[in-house]
């Protein structure tokens, strides 16, 4: 469902134009119906990889595809739902209007938008606040509105960048329940996080990235079948990479 082939990305950093490698020859396959956990320290390159997948930035080398189509193909976006790490929306929209806008942009009919809006706002517990402007929402409420927006067009692939950010325990459970429901529907979830407990709870496979380079990919049950905890495995990979974080 998601295929990343030899992607590298370099950025300029600072006035002196120092070159920093954000991703180094990243190759990764994510299968239909699985929850894949993309794990790494802050600044390891997780968000850079996601921005390439949703065509916000272009790689310097390599290519990426979703459902067999290059990510630069605009039709690919119809199959993808995306939640950024720090979602920001026009303050004066209500949650109801936000989902209407997202639904229309995805080509849905008004009838389908209404049905999806009612269902999703109920799932993210924003039904009561649906007519309030987003500027009155807390950070966690904005995060939940972003999750609903990512799902309004019923995508086959869902890309979540730190989806638990800003959520209280109730909100975290809600997101987890939604992820498990999507998995039961054979949706593919690419889930970026640096929180080990979230990876352990939800993921089928995990990839560990450090300083822009993929260090390990394996099934979570295989990784945890030995004596080592995921935390120890993760810290070992960071240590082997020199502990460095570049971008």
Better-predicted residue by pLDDT, 120 or 247: 120
pTM: 0.90
Per-residue pLDDT at 100: 96
Per-residue pLDDT at 228: 73
The single-letter DSSP state of residue 88 is -
Answer yes or no: is pLDDT of 211 > 50.
yes
The mean pLDDT of 104-126, rounded to a whole number, is 95
Q: Could you give the C-alpha distances from 43 to 8, 79, 120, 132, 188, in angstroms and in order?
A: 15, 28, 32, 35, 24
Answer yes or no: is pLDDT of 244 > 60.
no
Q: What is the distance between the alpha carbons of residues 214 and 228, in angstroms, rounded to a whole number?
A: 20
The percentage of the chain sitting over the pLDDT mark of 90, rounded to a whole number, equals: 66
Q: Which of 230, 222, 204, 190 has the alpha carbon at shortest distance from 4?
A: 190
What integer best gives the mean pLDDT of the chain?
Answer: 90
Pick the range with the lowest mean pLDDT from 136-140, 211-215, 228-232.
228-232
Domains and CATH numbers, the chain: 2-240 (3.40.50.300)
The single-letter DSSP state of residue 90 is -
Answer yes or no: is pLDDT of 243 > 80.
no
Q: Are strands 188-193 and 35-39 parallel, antiparallel or unpaired?
A: parallel
Per-residue pLDDT at 197: 86
The percentage of the chain sitting over the pLDDT mark of 70, rounded to a whole number, equals: 96
The mean pLDDT of 100-112, rounded to a whole number, is 94
Pick the range with the lowest mean pLDDT from 22-36, 58-72, 180-194, 214-228.
214-228
The two three-digit tokens of residue 21, written as one number: 């490698």
The mean pLDDT of 94-117, rounded to a whole number, is 95
Per-residue pLDDT at 246: 41
Task: Let me know how many helices (H) and strands (E) the chain has, helices first.
Answer: 8, 10
Q: How confident is the model at residue 14 (pLDDT cuts 50, 70, 90)?
A: low
Contact 138, 85 (CB under 8 A): no
CB atoms within 10 A of CB 191: 24
Half-sphere exposure of 227 (CA within 13 A, CB side): 0
């Amino acid at each position: 469902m998601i295929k990343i082939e030899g992607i590298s990305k370099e950025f300029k950093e600072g006035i002196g134009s120092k070159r920093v490698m954000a991703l180094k020859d990243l190759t990764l396959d994510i299968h239909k119906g699985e929850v894949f956990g993309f794990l790494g320290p802050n600044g390891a390159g997780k968000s850079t990889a996601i921005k390439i997948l949703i065509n916000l930035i272009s790689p310097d080398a390599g290519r990426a595809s979703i459902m067999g189509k290059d990510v630069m193909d605009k039709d690919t976006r119809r199959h993808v739902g995306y939640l950024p790490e720090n979602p920001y929306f026009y303050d004066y929209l209500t949650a109801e209007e936000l989902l209407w806008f997202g639904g229309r942009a995805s080509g849905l009919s008004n009838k389908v938008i209404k049905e999806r809006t009612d269902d999703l706002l109920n799932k993210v517990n924003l039904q009561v606040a649906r007519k309030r402007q987003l500027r009155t929402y807390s950070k966690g409420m904005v995060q939940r509105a972003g999750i609903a927006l990512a799902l309004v067009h019923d995508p086959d692939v869902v890309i979540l960048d730190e989806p638990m950010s800003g959520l209280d325990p109730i909100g975290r459970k809600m997101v987890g329940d939604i992820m498990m429901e999507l998995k039961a529907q054979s949706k593919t979830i690419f889930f970026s996080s640096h929180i080990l407990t979230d990876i352990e709870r939800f993921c089928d496979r995990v990839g560990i990235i450090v300083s822009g380079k993929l260090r390990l990919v394996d099934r979570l049950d295989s990784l945890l079948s030995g004596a080592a905890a995921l935390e120890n495995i993760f810290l070992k990979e960071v240590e082997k990479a020199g502990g460095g974080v570049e971008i």
